[in-house]
Structure 1
Amino acid sequence: MMTSQLPLVLQILIAAVHPVMMLIAFLLTFFALHWGIQVRRTRNASGEEKKKLIKGKYNQQHFQLGSILLAVWIIGSLIGMVATYLLYSQIFLSPHLFGGLFVMMLGSIAAAAAPFMQQGKTWARTVHLCTIIPVLLLVFTQSVTGVELVIVMIKEFLGVG
C-alpha cells in the first residue's frame, strides 16, 4: 500500500518515470542486439559481403547504443528504487529488484569488455557474450514483472485493489 503524502499527480509522475525509461531501454535493446549480430557477421564475412557490411558501421552503432543503454539501465534502475521509496517508504526485496541489480552489474561488465574487444581480444568477446546473454533474458523477464507491478500500482491509484 502506498504511503506517500505527495499530491496524486506527482505520485503518478514519479511512478511512471521508471516504467517509461525501461520500456524505451527494452525496445532499444533489440536494436543493440541486431547491430551486435551485424558486427559479428562483418567480422566473419569476406569479400564483397564484408565490404558491404563495413559500410553499415554496425560496430560504431552497437558501441554507441550499448553505452546509452548502460546509462539508461543504471539511471532507470536507480530511479525505480527512489520512486519505490518515495511512494512506499521502503524498498521491496523482490525478484524485480534483484533482476534490475543484475542487469546493472552484468551490463557494466559487458561494457568494460568493449575497449579490449576493440583491440581484438577474443576473451573480451567471450566475456561480453557471456554477460549480455543473461542481460537479454533478464531484460525480458524484467518487462514481464514490471508490467505486473505497473498493474498493481494502477489498481492502487484507482483504489481497486
Structure 2
Amino acid sequence: MMFPLLALEIPEPIKIYSQFGHPIMMWALFFTSVYAMWLGFQSRQIRSAEPEKRKELLQKDVKGKHFILGSLLLSLMVLGTIGGMAVTYINNGKLFVGPHLLVGLAMIGLIATAAALVPWMQKGNETARLTHITLNITLIGLFGWQAFTGVEIVQRIISKLGS
C-alpha cells in the first residue's frame, strides 16, 4: 500500500531554506534558556530574600514567568529537535549520527527530566530542586556547545549551496 504523502515532492527552494529554520530557532531558544535560568535563580532567592527584595520579586512574578518560559522551552526544544531531524532527513535521505545529533537528543532528555521534577519541587522537595537546577545548568552548557557545532554545520550547508 502506497502512502501518497510520502511520495510528495518538496519544492527545491523550500528544501534549501528550511535548513535554516532549526538553527535560527535553536539560537533563539538558547538565549531564552539563559533568561529562564536567570528567572529561576531569582525565583529561588524569594525564599531567603529580605522582605523588601522578596516583595519586589513576588511583584515581578519571576516564579510564574520561569514556569511559563520553562514549559514553552520544553515544547519548542522538542519540536525544534524533531524539525531539525526531519529537515536533515528530507534533504539528505539520512540522519548524520554524530555528536551534534546525540547531544541534542540528550538535551531533550535533560529538559524533560527537569520539567518532570516540578511537582516534587512544588511540594518543597529540596533534592528535586537541586536536581532540577543541576540538569538545567548542564543543559545550558550543552546548549552553548550545540550552538557552535550547529554554526559549523550551517557553514557546511552554505558552502554546498555555493558550489
TM value normalised by structure 1: 0.91
| Alignment match, 2:100 | 96
Number of residue pairs matched?
A: 155
1:46-102 C-alpha deviation (Å, 9 max, x unpaired): 322211221111100000000000111111011111111111111111110011101
Q: Show the counterpart of 2:44.
A: 40
Instruction: Provide the C-alpha distance between the structure 2 equivalents of 1:35 and 1:149, rounded to a whole number of angstroms.
Output: 31
CA distance in 2, matches of 1:43, 1:141: 32
Which stretch of structure 1 is more off in the superposition, 101-110 or 10-19? 10-19
Q: How does 1:10-159 map to 2 (within 5 A)?
A: 10-159=14-163
> Residue 27 of structure 1 aligns to which amino acid in structure 2?
F
Query: CA shift at 1:6, angstroms?
Result: 4.8
Q: Give distance in 2, aligned partners of 1:70 and 1:57.
A: 20
Distance 2:23 2:13 in 1: 16
- After TM superposition, give the deviation of residue 124 of structure 1 in Å: 1.0
Q: Deviations over 1:91-144 (max 9, x none)?
A: 111110011101100000000011211121111102201211110111000000
1:158 positional shift: 1.3
Alignment-mate amino acid for residue 39 of structure 1: S
CA contact (8 A) 2:34 2:140 kept: no
**Letter matched to residue 118 of structure 2:** A
**1:7 to partner: Cα distance:** 3.8
Which residues of structure 1 form unaligned runs of 5+?
A: none
Give the 3-state SS of the residue equivalent to 2:128 in structure 1: helix
Amino acid at match of 1:20: I
Aligned CA RMSD, in angstroms, stands at: 1.3
Q: Segments of 4+ in structure 1 off by > 3 A?
A: 5-8
**Partner SS, residue 16 of structure 2:** helix
